[in-house]
Amino acid sequence: MEFDDGDAPLLSVEDLTVHFSVARAGRRALPWSKRATVHAVERVSFDVRRGETVGLVGESGCGKSTLARALIGLAPVTHGSVRWRGEETVFGARRDIVQLRREVQMIFQDPLASLDPRMTIEQIVAEPLKTQRPDIGRAEARARVQAMLERVGLNAYHLQRYPHEFSGGQCQRVGIARALIGEPRLVICDEPVSALDVSIQAQIVNLLRDLQRELSLSLLFVAHDLAVVKAISHRVLVMYLGRVMEFGTKEAVYSAPMHPYTRALLAAVPAPDPAVERARAHSLLRGEIPSPLDPPSGCVFRTRCPQSIDACAGEVPVARAWPLRRGNVACIRVDEG
């Protein structure tokens, strides 16, 4: 199934905020100790439609994985709204969580660490069926597990083996099979290829694309590799220090990026031609990423932005639509081109 941008969103996120309270550095975590707040995710809004892949990119520590986990209740939501198929999801309600996890599954970053070493591959892949579909008998469950393993490129003789007997790429295929066995509508991929070799990354990305087409899946694909995101995504959301910098179609973001941070990320991607790479003028971002314990006032990117002005410190830019573009940009200077 091809993505149709006229479809109603499966997942709608509005002003999602995630804060963590932690003990201040160098102090023991006692009940009366002064606490600090980690601003992990700040007022993030986006949607994912049926059959679509939304790529979520940014540097390490920008809140990508926290956002992904918050969407399925694995991280606490401080503020904001998450709607699944038009209905508000209340993370404190067990019924909502159970229903959401039947239709939304997750593939994790570390393929080996995400699998229980004491369980066989058959037990690992079949576990969601036991939880979500107790009406399915043992013989049918085994048949479904075998069919799913074959679908992801493994075989029936892998059923009784354990995770430590597999390579990283094979373990990730097991993780994909486990995520898909319950027939979800949306799969959140939390950097699923970052721990794999480049050649294996391409295989996993191609596998996800094929499965998406065959099973009519929607994907939220989290990564820091812009080349991988470009290969699989329809739209791209760029995050920095917990906030959305730019969100638009893949074509718009990659061919004509509007935000200085997006341009900096794309400029850091090496060109495949050595001659072209040597001739390029590289402009590295200045300074270090600020701490989410004490983010800058105004635009969080201003301390490293080559185009920042005094006004950037006093105003938090709101992601807004840009004329003739299919997307949003959060920058007060975007009108200047």
Segments in 152-193 forming alpha helices (H) = 168-180
pLDDT digits (tens, 9 = 90+) for 65-104: 999 999 988 888 999 999 999 888 876 666 667 778 889 9
Percent with pLDDT over 70 in the chain? 90
**Single pTM value for the model:** 0.89
In three-state secondary structure terms, 302 is: coil
The residues near 49 (Cβ < 8 Å, ≥ 6 apart) are 3, 4, 5, 7, 8, 9, 10, 218
Distance CA 79, CA 94 (A): 19
* In the chain, where the domains are located: 9-233, 258-337
- Asked if CATH classification 3.80.30.20 holds for the domain at 9-233, the reply, yes or no, is no
pLDDT digits (tens, 9 = 90+) for 217-263: 999 999 988 889 999 999 999 999 999 999 999 999 999 899 999 99
